[in-house]
Amino acid sequence: MKVFTWVCDGFNRHRSGFRTISTALWLTWVCGTGLSLSLSGCDTAKGIDYDGRRILVVDMHLHPGEWDAIPEDTRKFIGSRFPFPLSLNPKTTAEGILSAEGILSELDKARVSQAVLFAVYAPRTVGIATNERVIADTATAPDRLFGLASLRIDNFRTEKDAELQRLRTALANPSMIGIKLAHAHQHFRMDDPTYFGIYQVSSDLKKPVYLHTGSSPFPGTSSEAPYTDPTYLEPAVKAYPGAIFILGHLGYDFTDQQSGSLEACIRLAKTYSNVYLEPSALGSKGSDPTGENLKTAMQKIRDAGLVDRVIYGSDGPQSPGFVKDYLSRTVTAMKASGYTADEAQSVFSGNFARVFRVAPAK
Summarised one tens digit per residue, pLDDT across range 293-322 is: 999 999 999 999 999 999 999 999 998 999
Is residue 28 located within the same domain as residue 81?
A: no
Is residue 270 one of the residues assigned to a domain?
A: yes
Residue 191 phi/psi, 5-degree rounding, is -100, 10
Q: Which is it for the CA torsion 209, 214, 220, 223, positive or negative?
A: positive
Instruction: Kindly report the pTM of this predicted structure.
Output: 0.86
pLDDT band at residue 218 under the 50/70/90 scheme: confident
Q: Tell me how many domains the chain contains.
A: 2
User: What's the mean pLDDT in 54-82?
Assistant: 88
Residue numbers of the domain that contains 23: 2-32
Q: Is residue 37 part of a domain?
A: no
Res 200: pLDDT: 98
* Alpha-carbon span 331 to 316, nearest angstrom: 16
Detail the DSSP E strand segments found in 137-248: 145-149, 176-181, 209-212, 245-248
Residue 43 lies in a domain: no
pLDDT digits (tens, 9 = 90+) for 230-280: 999 999 999 999 999 999 999 999 999 999 999 999 999 999 999 999 999
Do 210 and 266 fall into the same domain? Answer: yes
Q: Examine residue 41 and state whether it is found in any structural domain, yes or no.
A: no
Question: Are 94 and 234 in the same domain?
Answer: yes
Answer whether residue 96 is part of any domain.
yes
The reply to whether 254 and 279 lie within a common domain is: yes
User: Residue 71 pLDDT more than 50?
Assistant: yes
Question: In the structure, what pLDDT confidence band is assigned to residue 20 with cuts at 50, 70 and 90?
Answer: very low
Is 21 in the same domain as 129? no
Question: For residue 322, is it within any domain?
Answer: yes
Mean pLDDT for all residues in the chain: 88
- What's the distance, Cα to Cα, between the start and end of the chain in Å? 21
Among the residue ranges 80-84, 88-92, 137-141, 328-332, the one predicted with the least confidence is: 80-84
The torsion angles phi and psi of 300, rounded to 5 degrees, stand at -65, -35
Torsion of CA 75, 79, 80, 85, to 10 degrees: -170
Of 45 and 179, the structure prediction assigns the larger pLDDT to 179
Q: Is residue 28 part of a domain?
A: yes
Q: Which residues pair with 210 in a beta bridge?
A: 180, 246
Residue 120 pLDDT greater than 50, yes or no? yes
> What average pLDDT does range 20-24 have in this prediction?
30
Mark whether 17 and 58 lie in a shared domain.
no
Q: Are 167 and 151 in contact (CB under 8 A)?
A: yes
41 pLDDT exceeds 80? no
pLDDT band for position 43 (cuts 50, 70, 90): low
Indicate whether 120 and 172 sit together in one domain.
Answer: yes
Domain CATH for 75: 3.20.20.140
The residues, ordered by sequence, that sit 6+ positions from 306 with a Cβ below 8 Å of its Cβ are 266, 269, 270, 277
Same domain (yes/no): 288, 331: yes
**Reported confidence tier of residue 15, pLDDT bands at 50, 70, 90:** very low
Task: Note the helical H segments in 82-193.
Answer: 90-98, 100-110, 131-138, 156-171, 183-186
Same domain? For 194 and 341 the reply is yes
